[in-house]
Amino acid sequence: MESTLWLLTLVPLAALVHLGKRSGQQSPLIKRALGQQLGDGLCALALRLIHLAFAIYWSFQEWVQQSLTQADLDVQELLLGEDTVELADKRQQLADFLLTLPQRPENFAVILPETGECVGVDRVVSCDVASVETLCAWGLLAKLPRMTIYTRDGRLKSAVGDIEHRLKQSKMVQRAFGGSMPNIVLENGSRVTKRERNLTADAGISPDSNRRDSKPDMHVSLWSHDDGFPALAELSKELAGRAKSGMLSSRSVDESYVATMLEDPAGHAHPDLMLLYDDLVCVPEFPPWQLQNTEVFQIGSAAKSLGDAVVRALTSYAKIEKRWGK
Amino acid sequence: MDGNRRFARKSNMATVRGHVSGFFRLASVLEWCNDLGIRHVSVFAFAINNFNRSEEEVTALMELAKDKLRELAEKSELVRKHGVRIRVIGNRQLLAADVLEAVDFAEQQTRYNKGMTLNICFAYSATDEISSAIRRVVEDAENGKLEISDIDEKALESRLQIPEPSLDILVRTSGQIRFSNYMLWQTSKMAYIQFVDAFWPDFSFFHMFRIVISWQRAARTIAHRKQMSQRATTPASDSSGRSAFTSAAQFISDDETCCSDRG
């Protein structure tokens, strides 16, 4: 131990002495370069220390925030726990509370994180399927007309079959809808991408075929990167083609025309509230046109409870003041 | 630059004084950005839907814009000493002749400057920008300047009013947590977003410092995500890694705007 300590002390000292001797023997130009290197090194070290201090400060802030909010809300059990009369009453109370919020979003968007908590392709998909199920359940409890669930890479779109199956079997969804199976319309892509792929029919999820023809209880759209920038490019191509064939004049293409082309066929607004399920406040190529009036609510990807996040997002949305430029 | 009016109310000032304070804050922030080596800064000065405000306020804002544009272009140290180039971005058809004159003056006076580029978004909205880009694509296709098969995301992006460089940091002040139709295309390309709970005239160097440090910590993750995205969309594309801090911040202004722009 003592010899190790001596080594740890003597070796750096010897190195410094050696450097000092070398710098004494070297020309002024090399001395200046060494001086500059030392200065750069010290600046880099200072910057690293600042980063470290900031990281500690930020972690402390998050810990404080989490501690403060932990006791406030634990609604996850309302849909996940064993169904009892007491739980059903609490659920109804929460549903009534959410319905009476002074301001409610018409279109609630959720951006799922880049990588799920699961490892391996299958587990990522089933994790995301579970997330969709949870979000649909909470959306139904809050009686939201529309949810838009976004993954940049579109992995949910390739799991539409799994999602459909899961929603049809879901006890959580039924509990959220007062014990019966809701009529959910599951849309795979936005209006533009669906038009591009000649898709007309969306999946209707209801065991009762009569209900599928009635007004849906909720629309759920699965979006990806393709519904954003590529969709705008496809729209431009389509309009350019019409202009070239004389069916359209470029002068007619203004903001309101483009807005009409991009509006939701079911008449819903663009997302008013977005739950960003990510550690960074960074929008991963979400369709830009649809972000125009979106409020953002961020939760870290380590957060386990989507239910809590949804309820917090809705309650904070209720308090915002929209000025529309005035 | 959001929160000028609320700052004025908090400080018992007239609304227009709040906007003047906002301008002085802008001048300070531009100096900090210049010192930090940021090459492009975009600020949201006036949104298209701000025309819905009272006539009195809109007139006052237009007068302020005229005066300050000239002042920036003629007298500011940033322009004289550091060669800042001023560009005014927005729908000019909505501006009166006298304001347009000031806009043209500021742009012409600084058009050969090689320093930082300051994009002042005035009578701007992101949806107007995107639809204008789409219209330009359609026009060029109509006139034979662009083949239909060449219309892609890049063709559209190059016709935006602020096409390049890509946005690194978006800052919105006043505690509002929304995009307010500001630089949506650019923001959605994985810009690092910071919502600051301070009115624009109260935005301090400490806020700036925090934003820069937190961006530096996140930069690697964002760069990695951008690379993954590029690989997913264009497998053969070259993704040259840009190092360190060369970005510019955008500031959302005036009660429904934000922006940050990087160079």
Question: Which residues pair with residue A148 across a beta bridge?
Answer: A109, A221
Residues 70-129 of A with CB under 8 A from B: 114
State the Cα–Cα distance between residues A133 and A114, nearest whole angstrom.
Answer: 18
Query: What is the reported pLDDT for B13?
Result: 87
Please list every residue in chain B whose beta carbon sits closer than 8 Å to the beta carbon of residue A243.
Answer: 138-139, 141-142
Pairwise CB contact (< 8 Å): A281 & B49: no
- Of B139, B152, B179, nearest to A233 by CB-CB distance is B152
Q: How far are the Cα atoms of A128, B105, B148, B219, B253 from residue A156, in angstroms, in the given order?
A: 7, 52, 31, 27, 36
Pairs of CB atoms within 8 A across A/B: 167
Tokens standing for residue A282: 């960074």
C-alpha dist (Å) from residue B184 to A124, A143, A274, B21, B228: 29, 29, 14, 27, 21
CA distance A6 to chain B (A): 37
Residues in chain A with CB shorter than 8 Å from the CB of B139 are 243, 250
Given this model, what pLDDT does residue B1 score? 86
List the 29-48 stretch of A: residues with Cβ below 8 A of B. none
Q: Is residue A239 scored above 80 in pLDDT?
A: yes
- In this predicted structure, what is the pLDDT of residue B230? 79
Residue A53 has what pLDDT? 86
Inter-chain CB proximity A259 and B193 less than 8 Å: no
Nearest chain B alpha carbon to A114? B225
User: Inter-axis angle of helices B126-142 and A229-244, to 10 degrees?
Assistant: 40
More confident residue, A253 or B256: A253
Write out chain A residues lying below 8 Å of B178, CB-based. 293-296, 320
pLDDT, position A74: 63
List the beta bridge partners of residue A147. A108, A220
Q: Would you tell me which residues 47-76 of chain B have a C-beta closer than 8 angstroms to some C-beta of chain A? A: 47-53
Instruction: Name which of A67-81, A265-279, B208-222 the model is least confident about.
Output: A67-81
Closest alpha carbon within chain B to A56: B214
Q: Are residues A244 and B148, on separate chains, in Cβ contact within 8 Å?
A: yes
| Interface confidence (ipTM) of the complex | 0.85
pTM of the model: 0.81
Q: What is the pLDDT of residue A208?
A: 47
Bridge-partner residues for B171, per DSSP? B194, B251
Could A323 and B256 be called an inter-chain contact, meaning their C-beta atoms sit closer than 8 Å?
yes
Residue A113 confidence (pLDDT) above 90: no
* C-alpha distance from A322 to closest chain B C-alpha (Å): 9
Residue-level pLDDT at A138: 93
Q: Please say whether the beta carbons of A140 and A211 come within 8 A.
A: no
Tokens of A176: 């959220």
Establish if A280 touches chain B: CB-CB under 8 angstroms: yes
What is the pLDDT at residue A141? Answer: 93
Buried b (16+ CB within 10 A) or exposed e, B90-124: bbeeebeeebeebbebbbebbeebeebbbbbbbbb
Q: Are the beta carbons of B127 and A258 separated by less than 8 Å?
A: yes
Residues 6+ apart with CB under 8 A from A175: A79, A83, A88, A91, A137
* Contact between B151 and A233 using a beta-carbon 8 Å cutoff: yes
Do B142 and A239 count as a contact with CB atoms less than 8 A apart? no
For residue A28, cis peptide bond before it (omega within 30 degrees of 0): no
B window 178-217, beta carbon within 8 A of A:
178-181, 184-185, 187-195, 210, 213-214, 216-217
| Yes or no, beta carbons of B139 and A232 under 8 Å apart | no
Span A75-104, pLDDT tens digits: 777 777 667 888 888 888 889 999 999 999
Q: Which residues, including other chains, have CB under 8 Å from residue A79's CB and lie 6 or more apart?
A: A91, A134, A137, A138, A141, A172, A175, A176, A307
d(CA B173, CA B195): 6
Does A68 contact chain B (CB < 8 Å)? no
- Phi-psi region for residue B191, left (φ > 0), alpha (ψ -120 to 50) or beta? beta
SS3 labels along chain A: CHHHHHHHHHHHHHHHHHHHHHHHHCCHHHHHHHHHHHHHHHHHHHHHHHHHHHHHHHHHHHHHHHHHHHCCCCCHHHHHCCCCHHHHHHHHHHHHHHHCCCCCCCEEEEECCCCCCCCCHHHHHHHHHHHHHHHHHHHHHCCCCEEEEECCCCCCHHHHHHHHHHHHHCHHHHHHCCCCCCCEEEEECCHHHHHHCCCCCCEEECCCHHHHHCCCCEEEEEECHHHCHHHHHHHHHHHHHHHHCCCCCHHHCCHHHHHHHHCCCCCCCCCCEEEEECCCCEEECCCCHHHCCCEEEEECCCCCCHHHHHHHHHHHHHCCCCCCCC
Nearest residue in chain A measured CA to CA from B171: A281
Q: Does B156 touch chain A (CB under 8 A)?
A: yes
The pLDDT tens digits for A187-224 are 888 765 655 554 444 555 554 445 455 678 999 999 99
Contacts of B214 in chain A (CB under 8 A): 54, 58
Residue A236 Cα, gap to closest chain B Cα (Å): 6
Would you give per-residue pLDDT tens digits along chain B (263 residues)?
Answer: 888 888 889 888 888 888 888 988 999 999 999 999 999 999 999 999 999 988 988 999 999 999 999 998 988 888 888 899 999 999 999 999 999 999 999 999 999 999 999 999 999 999 999 999 999 999 999 999 999 999 999 999 999 999 889 999 999 999 888 999 999 999 999 999 999 999 999 999 999 999 999 999 999 989 988 888 877 765 544 444 333 333 344 554 433 333 333 33
Query: What confidence score (pLDDT) does residue A201 get?
Result: 44
Q: What is the pLDDT of residue A198?
A: 47
Instruction: Give the minimum alpha-carbon distance from A113 to chain B in angstroms, rounded to a whole number.
Output: 11
Closest CA in chain A for residue B129: A255
Is A243 within 8 Å of B142 when comparing Cβ atoms?
yes
pLDDT category, A108, cuts 50, 70, 90? very high
Please judge whether B191 and A282 are an interchain contact, meaning their C-beta atoms are less than 8 angstroms apart: yes
Q: What percent of chain A is modeled with pLDDT above 70?
A: 72
Instruction: Find, in chain B, the residue whose alpha carbon is nearest to that of A321.
Output: B176
